[in-house]
Amino acid sequence: MGISALTPPPRPEDVHETLLEFPDNRLLRDLCGQFDRNLAQVEQALGVHILRRGNQLAVVGEPAARDQAAGMLMQMYARLESGRQVESGDIDAMIRMGDPAVDVVGSPADQLEMFAGGRFEIRTRRKAVEPRTEAQKAYVRNLFQHEMAFGIGPAGTGKTYLAVAVGVTMLIGGHVDRIILSRPAVEAGERLGFLPGDMKEKVDPYMQPLYDALNDFLPAKQVEKLMQEKRIEIAPLAFMRGRTLANAFVVLDEAQNATTMQMKMFLTRLGEGSRMVITGDRSQIDLPRGVPSGLKDAERILNGVEGVSFNYFTASDVVRHPLVARIIEAYDRADGPEAG
């Protein structure tokens, strides 16, 4: 990888120091990050100090933390050598999961071989997506292994984002003919009144998070073309009634706001050659008081059914701003054991 660990002369001040040499100064700059923010993130997470000396980095700290930090710096440099970027989320993922060789996810057919290793990435047209926690990794594995997968947990844990990424991968790989993204058109605790425009304009505000995810993975013109060809559909849950969804990758987002009858209707749309993903957060139910959540009922009824998987996320899986995880944990503590 072009990296070597050097043994410095035995000096008292170097007893707790590991010295790493990086031959490419351009990659070293990227490794350190703007204003050395990448180094600062490693320092804060592992309790070490990292000092730059020309094309070398000196890691100072306790032996275990020092070894972990040195290993991370080597992995980050190798990542840059392979042409990939190193961002804050990537560093966080290395801290949580380590960074073994990356397997590229493309086809469900050879999934067992791909998942036998460590981390892997989902290749889309615009970017590669990597699960950043063990729960996310298990979730993506189930998206490929099971015809029906549930992802349940708080906001910011990547439930919908990863599902759409897998859907795009399977579409461009020819494993499904179309992607269908749906969510209940339920207002989040406030009345928005009558919305202007035709039916598409009325429901688009509810569907915007799904558009955002798609545009992260495909060029805008390609998204528009695929939608015109009906190879990508984004529609409210109510529009699913009476359909049989064959050879499709189907995602139901915000499923906690589906009623029991709506959930049963949706789940029974599954057709030949299709996969279905249901995501939701039990702490964000916006249904009228007294109306049970179809997501809770589905958990109870489908638990143990062959071909159906359930993956659960917690605040520790939040991959947005670290403050989001602390906010979720604070609300969970306030709500007590009966929350969710």
Cβ neighbour number for residue 340 with a 10 Å cutoff: 15
Q: Output the pLDDT for position 258.
A: 93
The residue out of 75, 97, 119 marking a domain boundary is: 97
Same domain? For 68 and 129 the reply is: no
Burial of 324 (0-12, 13-18, 19+ CB in 10 A): middle
Q: In CATH, what number is assigned to the domain containing residue 40?
A: 3.30.1370.10
Q: Output the pLDDT for position 130.
A: 82
Same domain? For 62 and 188 the reply is: no
Q: Spell out a b/e string for 240-249, using b for 16 or more CB atoms within 10 Å of the CB, else e.
A: beebebeebb
Same domain? For 224 and 329 the reply is: yes
Same domain? For 133 and 215 the reply is: yes
Q: Output the pLDDT for position 108.
A: 52
Using CA atoms, how far residue 272 sits from 36, 248, 253, in Å, is 52, 9, 21
Look at residue 265 and tell me whether its pLDDT is greater than 90: yes
Domain count, the chain: 2
Q: Output the pLDDT for position 189.
A: 42
Same domain? For 25 and 144 the reply is: no
List, in order, residues 6 or more apart from 111 with CB less than 8 Å away.
Answer: 105, 141, 144, 145
Q: Output the pLDDT for position 191.
A: 45
Tell me if 73 sits within 8 A of 42, measured CB to CB.
yes
DSSP secondary structure, 138-175, as one string? HHHHHHHH-SEEEEE--TTS-HHHHHHHHHHHHHHTTS
What band does 164 get if pLDDT is binned at 50, 70 and 90?
A: very high
Give the domain extent around 66: 4-97
> Which phi and psi (to 5°) does residue 79 adopt?
-60, -45
Look at residue 246 and tell me whether its pLDDT is greater than 60: yes
The least confident of 77-91, 116-130, 313-327 is 116-130
Tell me if 278 sits within 8 A of 298, measured CB to CB.
yes
Look at residue 201 and tell me whether its pLDDT is greater than 90: no
Mean pLDDT over each residue of the chain, to the nearest integer: 80
The answer to whether residue 141 sits within a structural domain is yes
Q: How far is the C-alpha of 335 from the C-alpha of 315, rounded, in Å?
A: 14
Q: How far is the C-alpha of 289 from the C-alpha of 236, rounded, in Å?
A: 21
Q: Output the pLDDT for position 172.
A: 86
Same domain? For 180 and 318 the reply is: yes
Percent of the chain with pLDDT over 70: 80
Q: In CATH, what number is assigned to the domain containing residue 287?
A: 3.40.50.300
Tell me if 282 sits within 8 A of 249, measured CB to CB.
no
Q: Output the pLDDT for position 200.
A: 60
List, in order, residues 6 or more apart from 200 with CB less than 8 Å away.
Answer: none
Angle at 53 between CA 51 and CA 57, to 5 degrees: 55
* The most confident of 154-158, 196-200, 234-238, 249-253, by mean pLDDT: 249-253
Q: How far is the C-alpha of 214 from the C-alpha of 223, rounded, in Å?
A: 7
Same domain? For 67 and 165 the reply is: no
Q: How far is the C-alpha of 230 from the C-alpha of 209, rounded, in Å?
A: 19
Same domain? For 188 and 86 the reply is: no
The answer to whether residue 340 sits within a structural domain is no
Same domain? For 171 and 40 the reply is: no
The answer to whether residue 147 sits within a structural domain is yes
Greatest alpha-carbon pair distance for the chain in Å reads: 77
The answer to whether residue 306 sits within a structural domain is yes
Question: Model confidence over 95-147: pLDDT tens digits?
Answer: 766 544 444 444 554 444 444 544 467 877 777 788 888 899 899 999 988 99
The residue out of 97, 127, 152 marking a domain boundary is: 97
Q: Read off the pLDDT of each residue in 29-55 and give the average, rounded to a whole number.
A: 87
Angle at 224 between CA 223 and CA 226, to 5 degrees: 65
Q: Read off the pLDDT of each residue in 243-264 and give the average, rounded to a whole number.
A: 92
Question: Model confidence over 144-159: pLDDT tens digits?
Answer: 889 999 999 998 889 9
Tokens of 24: 């490419």
Look at residue 327 and tell me whether its pLDDT is greater than 50: yes
The residue out of 78, 97, 116 marking a domain boundary is: 97
